[in-house]
Amino acid sequence: MIMKIRTISEELKKEYGQKIYKLSLSSGCSCPNRDGMIGTGGCTFCSEGGSGDFASPFLPIDEQIRLSRAWIDRKIPASVPDEKRRYIAYFQSYTNTYGDTARLKALYMETIKRPEILILSIGTRPDCLPDESIQMLKELSSIKPVWVELGLQTIHEKTAQRIHRGYTLPVFEDAVRKLKAAGLTVIVHVILGLPGEKHEDMYETVQYLSDMRPRPDGIKLQLLHVLKGTKLADEFKADPFHIMTLEEYTEVVVHCLQILPPEMIIHRITGDGPKKLLIQPEWSADKKKVLNTLNRAIREAERG
């Protein structure tokens, strides 16, 4: 099957005329799946960093941005002057609409008013989007684009319970409807390789997102990482489950991309697990090899 995908890097370059870089920041929020509101310990795959292991520590936002830029700017060619470098402010760790709305609005407002920040991206849970939070995000989007990233991971209830996700599929559907009605961009995270899931289960999740109305704007396909200090690591040690090989993962990613409609923007096709925490898959530590393998297979599929 011939496919043609739209990647976020290409779309941003088309819109802004240059490469846009992502700054991983912290809002100081916790998570209801950690603090006892709906559960403790978080999702089984989630590390102590709350899926934001590369984010800056929670400091005043100016200091966070300075630190994050110092890290990211090493990747930017020296020929690009400082005043022309542009970024996405990505609040990734934990649940970034879970807390005092007035405090969060002030934090996000301070962030997006900076000239180098073009887009605000908020990672959160579908069950942490009360009307006041959606209204806040809508107001912010009148200043600069706001992306809302939702961790769905899977549509299968058996798997969701196994990973302690903490909400049901209708909660996700309701959140997407409300966010889209507010004019916000919705990006959905899907984890490939969750314990107990076969390839067909993963494809069913991607097909479901393709068929949704209203449909999310973008998707992140994330490789499952088994990280030290997580419940998933304890489960893997006690009863090892199947870990995909690079070749298997590549096959699954390409098939997922073939399922998705061409208008769906691809934000990610894999992901980083901190090497100091990574247990499995070991091959994922070689990011360059992984991306080269995936991109080569995608180009072949695009050529048919």
pLDDT of 31: 93
Q: What token pair was written down for 90? A: 């990505």
Q: Tokens 């297979």 label which residue? A: 297
For residue 177, the model assigns a pLDDT of 98
Q: How many CB atoms lie within 10 A of CB 288?
A: 7
C-alpha distances in Å from residue 129, one per residue of 45, 67, 146, 212: 22, 29, 14, 19
- More reliable by pLDDT, 230 or 53: 230
Burial, 123: exposed, middle or buried (Cβ in 10 Å; 0-12, 13-18, 19+)?
A: buried
DSSP structure class, residue 275:
T
In a domain, 228, yes or no: yes
- Determine the pLDDT at residue 272: 81
How far out from the chain centre does Cα 92 lie? Answer: 8
Which of the four pLDDT bands, split at 50, 70 and 90, describes residue 50?
Answer: very low
Any residues with CB less than 8 A from the CB of 102 and at least 6 apart, and which? none
Read off the pLDDT band of 97 (50, 70, 90).
Answer: very high
Segment 62-78 mean pLDDT: 95
Domain count across the chain: 1
Q: What is the pLDDT of residues 278-294, one digit of tens each?
A: 999 999 999 999 999 99
Q: What is the pLDDT of residues 215-266, one digit of tens each?
A: 999 999 999 999 999 999 999 999 999 999 999 999 999 999 999 999 999 9
Residue 63 above 60 pLDDT?
yes
From residue 98, give the alpha-carbon distance in Å to each of 61, 120, 164.
18, 17, 18
Assigned domain for 1 exists: no
The parent domain of residue 64 ranges over 6-303
Answer yes or no: is 274 within a domain: yes
pLDDT confidence band for 148 (50 / 70 / 90): very high
Q: Would you place residue 53 in the very low, low, confident or very high pLDDT band (cuts 50, 70, 90)?
A: very low
Burial-class residue 79 by CB neighbours within 10 Å (0-12, 13-18, 19+): exposed
**Contact (CB, 8 A) for 125 and 94:** no
Q: Residue 77, SS3? A: coil
State the average pLDDT over residues 269-281: 91
Helices (H) and strands (E) in the chain, counts: 10, 10
Residue 52 pLDDT exceeds 60: no
Contacts of 63 (CB under 8 A, 6+ apart): none
Mean pLDDT, rounded, for 192-214: 98
Residue predicted with more confidence, 274 or 207: 207
CATH of the domain at 187: 3.20.20.70
Predicted confidence band at 56 (pLDDT cuts at 50, 70, 90)? Answer: low
Question: Residue 52 domain-assigned?
Answer: yes
Against a cut of 0.85, is the pTM above it? yes
Give me the mean pLDDT over the 150-157 stretch.
98
Tell me the pLDDT of the chain averaged across its residues: 94
